[in-house]
Structure 1
Amino acid sequence: MKATPTSIPDVLVIEPKVFGDARGFFFESFNQKAFDEAIGKHVDFVQDNHSRSAKGVLRGLHYQVQQPQGKLVRVVRGAVFDVAVDIRKSSPTFGKWVGVELNEDNHKQLWVPAGFAHGFLVLSETAEFLYKTTDYYAPAHERAIVWNDPAVGIRWPDVGGAPVLSKKDEDGCLLQAAEVF
């Protein structure tokens, strides 16, 4: 397993060792010991989630103000543009974002530590998105920053139209008005 820092050093691209031949491929999608060594500390995961979304669906930018979640995210079918926004006030990268394409062929994963808002845009006809979390889902503490906040300035890929959003994501607030860490 290889961990590569992004432009926000705490957010890491995780690349497993993939063994492939004419029959297909094999890789360990998660190994606690290898993951801890790759990121340089121990992290406990408590929940696994799986979502399926159609092209153009944008989920995010989500976070929890209590029970903050670190997330290890990956795509098993299709492709997404995955984004993490630093919402830690004391961080030198506060308000900055990083985006990575995750897809079924590159097998990349993204480690998004607690203290970040997270979201993704589906690039393929459908995408199946898996993620492990370091704390349990707590809907009372969930918040959303609006996906197109000009102060954050995320450059989302063009998917041929406006993104498809949930009501919660349409109603997300601007970073300047958001509860942050």
Structure 2
Amino acid sequence: MAYPRLKCIIKENECIVKGTAVVCNINRDGAYLWNDYIGLIAIEGKMINQLKSLTAVEFQAVPSKKNGISAHFMAKEISVESESIFQSEVLIFIRNAEIKEDGRAHVSGCAITLLDIAYSTPPIVGTTMSIIYYKAYNDNTSGIGIYATSDSNIVAGIVSEFLFIQSSVYYFG
């Protein structure tokens, strides 16, 4: 099971979920976190300024009331602490995945569809990208890419397909 688990606090008719997540793509419009239990968590506003992709953070989130976002939770507070650890049993990392004609990356019998929020620069057919994805629950031949980059420096420390992140340092397991 992912480490650590979530905490849920009911406060003034509001459910606040607290836990640890990994920062995915960041752009000028927003950013997203990933937590194995609740999936994507949207981030807006000044909280984005303190973030760096592929770092572990502590978060507080509330169910999203905004239509049109790709997440069911919205970050309310984020803390970047040196002790934060994110370990995923859902996410898989692949380096040098080739983008095919259909816009997907095909690796080990799995066709990975990249979410629009997964990248800052749209993937180009024939190029390779490093991708963090999860396999579809009902079908191991399909995957959903939540983070994709062609910048090898960002993912230089990751050598394993399983994601375990402590602060800004990558661990392998």
Specify if TM > 0.5: no
TM-score w.r.t. structure 2 length? 0.26
From the two aligned structures, give the one with the greater strand fraction.
2
From the two aligned structures, give the one with the greater helix fraction.
1
Structure with higher RCO (Cα < 8 A, 6+ apart): 1
TM-score w.r.t. structure 1 length? 0.26
